Amino acid sequence: MNQSSNALQLAQLLVNAQQQQQPVEHLESALWPKDRAEAYATQEHILQLRGATVGGWKVGAKDATGQAQGSPLPANCLFASGQHFAPKRYAPAGLELEIAFRLGREFKPREQPYSEAEVLAAVDGMTATMEVVSSRFAELPHDAPLLQLADLLNHGALVVGEFVPYDKNFNFLQPSLNLSFAGRNITPAVAANPAGDPRRLLSWLVNHHTQQGHSLAAGLVITTGSYTGMYFANQAGELRGQIEGLPALSLHLD
């Protein structure tokens, strides 16, 4: 099998699992992505097979100096605050509180990479988001990061708060926040993004896109990783969160 055939076959398996709500129990080793390029190719096939348009991106990194990675988000998986979700559709549902950005201009392919200053100058909005993390595999493949990358980085759904103007002086390293589920406080003792300042991920996304000959449209929701870790809900309830300086938001599992 060639790389393109592998990526398409894996994408079809993941789309079937999502549509039929039957997670993949076993994946033959031949279909595992060989590298990041094949994982990203699988992402593209998934969106094509689902007939989905791109409404945003999720980007992240394991630590403050680590390599960034990302995934497109299907537009029909983005929701306003207050959305209700059926837990069984996303089981097990991991819940995260994040910050997202919006770029006010399109970035087109060019020979020279875009600098961080150019990208940050284009940021025109920011908001809080809540991601529902959900794998298409029966067990989240913690030891196989390329499988997670291929599987849209375990994306299930994204609840997007109200955007406010970008504030370059915002405390992006350790913002004050609160998070509760079913009336119980689940705010971590220390709230921090593993990528450090998440704004560094924006220039990676722009260059990841444009260096492959694609334009990155203006106005996409770009969510940048969890400040609270991942909380697995084992009951129905409302997740409520607020990052100081940004509008509050919520979602319901019922």
Neighbour tally for 68: CB within 10 Å: 20
Separation between Cα atoms, residue 34 and residue 144, nearest integer Å: 11
Residue 136 has a pLDDT of: 93
Site of tokens 């991920």: 201
Neighbour tally for 171: CB within 10 Å: 12
The two tokens of residue 156 are 């299930």
- Transcribe 32-89 into DSSP letters: S-SSHHHHHHHHHHHHHHHTPPEEEEEEE-SSTTSPPEEEEEEGGGEEETTEEE-HHH
Residue 1 has a pLDDT of: 46
Residue 198 has a pLDDT of: 98
- Transcribe 137-177 into DSSP letters: BSS--TT-HHHHHHTGGGEEEEEE---B---TTS--SS--E
Q: Are 107 and 145 in contact (CB under 8 A)?
A: no
Separation between Cα atoms, residue 132 and residue 135, nearest integer Å: 10
Residue 224 has a pLDDT of: 98
Instruction: State the Cα torsion 9-54-135-100 to the nearest 10°.
Output: 150
Task: Split the chain (254 residues) into runs of 10 and give each run's mean pLDDT.
Answer: 79 95 90 95 97 97 95 97 91 92 97 97 98 89 86 96 98 97 96 97 97 96 97 93 98 95
Residue 91 has a pLDDT of: 77
Largest pairwise CA distance in the chain: 52
Q: What are the pLDDT digits (tens) for 170-210?
A: 999 999 999 999 999 999 999 999 999 999 999 999 999 99
Q: Which H or E element spans position 118?
A: helix 116-121
Q: pTM score, two decimals? A: 0.95
